[in-house]
Copies of this chain bind each other. A is one copy, B any other.
Amino acid sequence: MEVQIAVAKVNKYATSESGDTLEVVERPNGGLSVVLADGQTSGRGAKAISQMVVRKVIGLLAEGVRDGAAARAASDALFTDKQGKVISTLNIASLDLHSGTIVLTRNNPSPMFICRGEQIDQRGEESIPLGASRNVRPLITEIPVEPGLTIVICTDGLIHAGERRGLPMDVEETIHSVLEDQDPSPQTLADSLLAQAVSLDENRPADDISVLVLKVASRTGDNVRRMTVRLPIEGNMRS
């Protein structure tokens, strides 16, 4: 088998910095974790918050701390620092080679989507962001790693796209239409979701938008781990 992860990310219109932070870390007992946080408001202040949360979580995961405990620790640290005045969403998607499972940790009112083949399970149970109070619990979902599994996680910029114009995004419907195609790559799915949202926002995203897609594919290729990153930069780089 092969686990494939794709991310597509865009800033709110006319802001130079995204309030969303996403990073990947290797787990000390095998596998990897993708950590996504969306700090309250947008721009520089939100970026500092989401970076702090992601740093904290990644540092703990790298030490072997379990995902749920890392989320609680980050929440406590944020609450202690900001006294509940600033919150941040958090999603962790972990491939845990030790247990043979994918572990999904969520402190984010935005739903996530667990797809098996073309069947989509929207998971939108109530979930409180980090830093809101003293005792924030993450929702944890653990799924065996098996081919055909696709997981979609996003920040609320995707969910709320188009609302300004009264043409809200239907994320589940968009996922469905892409999955109908023959075995789309996770990058195709992430790009399609983002493109649909940006189009509904008339090419001026009303919020930072991040889309993360994790797919388990039947093994086809070699033993090589691969990663690519593409970072557009302005002509005037100091902007």
Contact = CB atoms under 8 A, between A and B. Distances in A.
A187 interface: yes
A225 B186 contact: no
B225 A4 contact: no
Interface stretch (A18-26, A84-92, A117-125, A172-180): A18-26
Contacts of A219: 232-233, 235
Given A10-B223, A228-B228, A25 B23 contact: yes
A34 to B, nearest CB: 8
Is the interface on chain A under 10, 10 to 19, 20 to 34, or 35 or more residues? 35 or more
A4 B229 CA distance: 6
B21 A228 contact: no
A102 to B, nearest CB: 11
A232 B145 CA distance: 12
A10 B224 CA distance: 5
A14 B228 CA distance: 26
Interface in A59-92: 59, 62
A115 interface: no
Interface in A1-38: 1-11, 17, 21-26, 28, 30-32
Nearest to A220: B232
Nearest to A18: B225
A100 B238 contact: yes
A230 B10 contact: no
Interface in A174-200: 186-187, 190-191, 194
A223 B233 CA distance: 8
Nearest to A1: B233
A97 B238 contact: yes
Contact of A95 (B26, B55, B231): B231
